[in-house]
Amino acid sequence: MVKSILFIQENSSFLINAIISSLKKNAFLCDAITFDIDEISKLAEYYECIFLNVEKDTAFRHSKELIFLKDQGSFNDKKFMIMGTPNDISECIELMTDNSLVAAFERPINTRDVVDRVLEIFETVMDSRGKKTILVVDDSGTFLHAIKSWLDKDYKVIMVSSATNAISYLATNNPDLILLDYEMPVCSGPDLLEMIRADKSNADIPVMFLTGKGDRESVEKVLSLHPQGYMLKSISRPDMLKTLSDFFAKQEAAETREEDATLDSFSILNDYLKNN
């Protein structure tokens, strides 16, 4: 897959042009556009990473564009790099989210340092295409970030804080697993599960509930909805990782058995046709 970065800036920059030139020599696909919401919305989806070059004290002028990019980070797992003064970088993060930020370059900085860091990032942070994707739905930002820190090394983790955001993400994405908070305001976990199961394109996505209650009655309520599993929110990191690892191992084993059964059926049919 081609490594690609979309550079967004207010004005053409000699430094950015030099960075792009160096990256192209390293087989990167790069393009540069201005802070224009129409241009950004047309092109953002085609690039793995967005590089924001923010001029001094101008971030507040681009709030519309930054909020749009925040959604790209949340729903489409876009990663971002920002170049600017410390204040510029902080203002951008406030409008977006530090969850999708993979690098921040404080001016002054030279071309070589930026290029070396970008190459390093694409070898590590960006190289997660083979990882299973887990969508975590929980109204607690603290809990979401804790779970992400636990799982980030082994899985690609997408975090949303409401059922509405989950449905928006699922409209264009199919994660390998959904970890769903049982008790959420406005739209509860069971209500969201019902909506997921009612949508043919999402109905087969496995769901595990996250619950803060471990008493018999509460667990029975969770299990009555027939999720693929459930975990108490008090679970330890090693136990959560083991639960997920065991789940995906069983899932892959089941898929292998189905493939083997299909191949056996084709073999039987082929033998029949040869002999008749």
Whether residues 99 and 160 fall in one domain: no
pLDDT at position 275: 59
| Domain end call among 74, 105, 123 | 123
- Number of folded domains that form the chain: 2
Give the span between the Cα atoms of 118 and 120, in whole angstroms: 5
**Which token pair is 48?**
């793995």
Q: Which of 195, 75, 209, 72 has its CA nearest to residue 138?
A: 209
* Whether the Cβ atoms of residue 42 and residue 131 lie closer than 8 Å to each other: no
**Which token pair is 228?**
């693929």
Whether residues 11 and 39 fall in one domain: yes
**Which token pair is 201?**
């394109």
CATH number of the CATH domain containing 146: 3.40.50.2300
Whether residues 137 and 250 fall in one domain: yes
Whether residues 95 and 163 fall in one domain: no
Give the span between the Cα atoms of 177 and 97, in whole angstroms: 23
Residue 272 included in any domain: no
Whether residues 104 and 151 fall in one domain: no
Per-residue burial over 155-181, b = 16 or more CB atoms within 10 Å of its CB, e = otherwise: bbbbbbbbbebbbebbeeeebbbbbbb
Residue 128 included in any domain: no
Whether residues 177 and 226 fall in one domain: yes
Whether residues 142 and 214 fall in one domain: yes
Residue 247 included in any domain: yes
Residue 189 included in any domain: yes
**Which token pair is 256?**
């292998």
Residue 184 included in any domain: yes
pLDDT at position 272: 46
Whether residues 10 and 96 fall in one domain: yes
**Which token pair is 53?**
């070059």
The angle, 0 to 180 degrees and rounded to 10, between the axes of the packed helices 63-76 and 86-95 is 60
* Whether the Cβ atoms of residue 48 and residue 3 lie closer than 8 Å to each other: yes
Distances 102 to 73, 99, 126, 135, 216 between C-alpha atoms, Å: 11, 8, 9, 19, 43
In sequence order, the β-bridge partners of residue 156 are 133
* Whether the Cβ atoms of residue 62 and residue 37 lie closer than 8 Å to each other: no
Look up the domain containing 220 and give its range.
Answer: 133-255
Q: What is the mean pLDDT of each run of 10 residues along the chain (276 residues)?
A: 88 94 95 94 90 86 87 79 91 76 91 94 69 91 89 87 90 91 88 90 91 77 82 92 92 73 53 54
Whether residues 137 and 115 fall in one domain: no
Whether residues 147 and 235 fall in one domain: yes
Whether residues 25 and 111 fall in one domain: yes
Whether residues 10 and 119 fall in one domain: yes
Residue at 243: amino acid letter: T
Alpha-carbon Rg for the chain, nearest whole angstrom, is 23
Model-level pTM greater than 0.85? no
* Whether the Cβ atoms of residue 66 and residue 92 lie closer than 8 Å to each other: yes
